[in-house]
Amino acid sequence: MVQTAQAEKIIEVKNLSSGYGGGLTFDDISFDIKKGEVFVILGGSGCGKSTMLKHLIGLYKPYSGQILIEGQDVVQAEGTQRLEILNRIGVMYQSGALFGSMTLLENIMLPLEEFTDLPEAARRSVAALKLMLVGLQGFESHMPSEISGGMQKRAAIARAMALDPKILFLDEPSAGLDPITSAELDQLILQLSGNLGITFVIVTHELDSIYSIADRIIMLDKKTKKIIAEGDPKYLKEHADNENVKKFFNRQVSKDEL
Amino acid sequence: MNMTLTHPALKLEIKKDPQGGKILLFLSGHFSAKTAGGVWQESTTLLHATQPRELVLDVSGLTYCDMTGIGLIRELKAFQGSLKAGFQILGLRPDQQTLFDLVNRRSAQPVISKPIARPGFIEELGRTTAHIGEDIYGQIAFVGEVISQMLHALRHPATVRWKDVWVFIEKGGANAMPLIIMAGFLIGVIMAFQSALPLKQMGSDVFVANVVAFAVLRELGPLITAIILAGRTGSAIAAEIGTMKINEEVNALTTMGLEPVRFLVVSRMLGILFLAPLLTILSDFFGMLGGALVFQSFGYSATTYVNQVTSTVDLGDVLGGIFKSIPFALAIGGIGCLRGLQTKTGASAVGESTTSSVVTGMVMIIILDGVISAIYYALGI
């Protein structure tokens, strides 16, 4: 959103190659994510979008290549350096991954308790504020199992934001949400990105959502194992030269899928 | 009166106006969750202690202010509001203002989370009673369903998923053999040593063989096997079915038209019914072997051991012991499946089900053992 002033790179992926058990998922992929932008990773099912996200947050180790978050290599980082990087990012997992034995408020208070010296009342207040931001006021004392799937996702976003990270990674945030909640979530992402300068890295399929929030996208391809499109989605919709990219944005059936 | 409190990267300056009851707080630096601890504590304590008629918050010195900062501003404003005292904020940058507005638009009232009220004694009593009632009802209904499905399986063996049964027998039986062998063998050894002490005092240590045979074949072999099965296999059943339950796999079976009891329970029950007697025989055999080893170390021959054993126990004792493993197996398998299917939601629920399956399994084994012993006594077996 605030691209003009900041062309500064916050995440750099250099020559990333990776895969499972000898197979190849990504073949020598490089891209940058700029500070403050909403960056969306796209691609058909099974192309490794979520895997890419897990590489970016240091959960998976690549065969080769570098992933730099603010200049620090996530792949090599260990100990306190790794913790320092992890404290600057927040992650929302596809299924929420809220701790089932804690209330929503306790879920969000956990990182505050472990990583800040805020007094108890302040932790409570900040955590409640985060819940309110995602529209979950009044559900502080609920257990994750007592709320709907969409609410769990929102609570998971609130937990990812607990420490006000510079980068938020969201894995399919709007999947399973109704259109209104989904649009509200998009609005929230735009506001946070605009006001706090948080960089968002989002994996999603929702075209509406992509058009309204994404500054830039990359599209991964299962066959070539490379990036087949990069740029502004609105521009790509009209001007993509790759057939598959065009079809994705225009919701057409791919010939080789039939 | 001037005070300053410094914290890495965040600074709070407090100015008090002596007559007017007015306080000016000047915040400067980097305001984030990591830096806010001291300032938060300081400013809220100050407000609670002094309760000023007006609070002026100057944030123009902030280089960065995230949601935690906005949270404190909100908290201070809400506190002043609750006292009907004045609040003024100066130097809020437009982007911070937007954030502040966003937070205020979401809810006019500050969120103060209240813990859920604990239920009273009467309510708790009622709940527990209802819970126990439900549990008993569930168990009776489950036993009925399992029996009817097992009978169905006996009448139509083709409907049983034999592949699942064999996999289960391998995991719960073949893989349990080393443990059963070790436990059985050691029980034989232990029984021999323990009984040797008093028997030696009476100069009749030849009867060690009789004691070992009687105890292992009638009681300890089946019991140890059942306890290992409850801890190893019963818990595995509960954990597996429990995980399937929370992953909605059980629901998926139901909506596919596959009866969960038939699909999940029958194969496991058949498996455990098959392997419990076999494992008991294994445990019996190694128990006797362990006894024999100790017996020989006392200087007796193997023939003496066999003679002593056959003079005490007959085939009825051996079969009686092995037969006991069948009700044990029914209890262990049934309880494991029931607890698995009763699993509620969340990862901790699987742990609860697993624990409960082992505890209930052990209790049932001991009760059944008592009942069977009484019956055997009455029948003279």
- Domain range B2-106, CATH architecture: 2-Layer Sandwich (3.30)
Ranges B20-24, B285-289, B305-309: which has the least confidence = B20-24
For B113, the closest chain A residue by CA position comes to: A140
Examine the domain organization and report whether A77 and A185 are in the same domain: yes
Examine the domain organization and report whether A124 and A153 are in the same domain: yes
CB A157 within 8 A of CB A170: yes
Asked whether residue A94 is domain-assigned, the answer is no
Between the CA of residue B48 and those of B14, B44, B57, B75, B260, what are the distances in Å?
14, 6, 16, 12, 60
Q: Cα distance from B258 to chain A (closest Cα, Å)?
A: 26
State the complex-level ipTM.
Answer: 0.71
pLDDT reported for residue B1: 38
Interface mutation target, options B76, B111, B248, B343, chain A, most CBs of A under 10 Å:
B111
**Chain A residues touching residue B94 (CB < 8 angstroms):** none
- What span, in angstroms and rounded, lies between the C-alpha atoms of B127 and A53? 46
pLDDT reported for residue A1: 45
Percent of chain B with pLDDT strictly greater than 70: 94
Mean pLDDT, 10 residues at a time, chain A of 258 residues = 61 88 82 91 82 87 88 84 85 83 87 85 88 84 84 87 88 81 82 81 87 90 84 82 80 60
The count of other CB atoms within 10 Å of the CB of residue B301 is 10
Asked whether residue A39 is domain-assigned, the answer is yes
Domain boundary (A164, A184, A214) is at A164
- List CB contacts of B367: < 8 A, sequence separation 6 or more: none
**Which stretches of A86-241 are assigned E, i.e. beta strand?**
89-92, 167-171, 199-203, 216-220, 227-231
Nearest to B98 among A122, A163, A195 (CB): A195
CA angle B200, B204, B210 (to 5 degrees): 105
Amino acid symbol at A243: E
- What span, in angstroms and rounded, lies between the C-alpha atoms of B98 and A106? 28
Residues B177-227: tens digit of each pLDDT: 999 999 999 999 999 999 999 999 998 889 999 999 999 999 999 999 999
Residue with tokens 């809400």: B78
pLDDT reported for residue B109: 54
Given a cut of 60, whether residue B2 has pLDDT beyond it is no
Residues B80-93: tens digit of each pLDDT: 888 888 888 888 88
Query: Rounded mean pLDDT of B111-116?
Result: 51
pLDDT reported for residue B223: 96
Examine the domain organization and report whether A121 and A69 are in the same domain: no
pLDDT reported for residue A2: 45
pLDDT reported for residue B27: 87
Residues B38-58: tens digit of each pLDDT: 888 888 888 888 888 888 888
pLDDT reported for residue B363: 95
Residues B227-242: tens digit of each pLDDT: 999 999 999 999 999 9
pLDDT reported for residue B7: 47
Angle between helices B221-229 and B347-379 (to 10 degrees): 160
Examine the domain organization and report whether A171 and A156 are in the same domain: no
pLDDT reported for residue B5: 45
B119 vs A255, residue with greater confidence? B119
Going by pLDDT thresholds of 50, 70 and 90, the confidence category of residue B107 is low
Examine the domain organization and report whether A252 and A183 are in the same domain: yes
Going by pLDDT thresholds of 50, 70 and 90, the confidence category of residue B108 is low
CB A177 within 8 A of CB A150: yes
Task: List the domain range (segments joined by +) for residue A175.
Answer: 9-88+166-257
The count of other CB atoms within 10 Å of the CB of residue A233 is 23
Given a cut of 70, whether residue B106 has pLDDT beyond it is no
Residues B312-337: tens digit of each pLDDT: 899 999 999 999 999 999 999 999 99
Interface touch A126/B68, C-beta < 8 Å: yes
B96 vs B221, residue with greater confidence? B221
The enclosing domain of A24 has a CATH number of 3.40.50.300
Interface mutation target, options A116, A185, A187, chain B, most CBs of B under 10 Å:
A116
Write the burial class of residue A154 (CB in 10 Å: 0-12 exposed, 13-18 middle, 19+ buried). buried
* B70: contact with A, CB 8 A cutoff: yes
Look at chain A and report how many structural domains it folds into: 2
- What span, in angstroms and rounded, lies between the C-alpha atoms of A171 and A96? 9
pLDDT reported for residue B266: 92
Backbone angle region of A172, left / alpha / beta, with phi > 0 → left and psi within -120 to 50 → alpha: left
DSSP for B119-186, written as a single string = P-HHHHHHHHHHHHHHHHHHHHHHHHHHHHHHHHHHH-GGGS-HHHHHHHHHHHTGGGHHHHHHHHHH
- What span, in angstroms and rounded, lies between the C-alpha atoms of B38 and B221? 65
Chain A / chain B CB contacts < 8 angstroms: 105
Asked whether residue A4 is domain-assigned, the answer is no
Examine the domain organization and report whether A79 and A107 are in the same domain: no
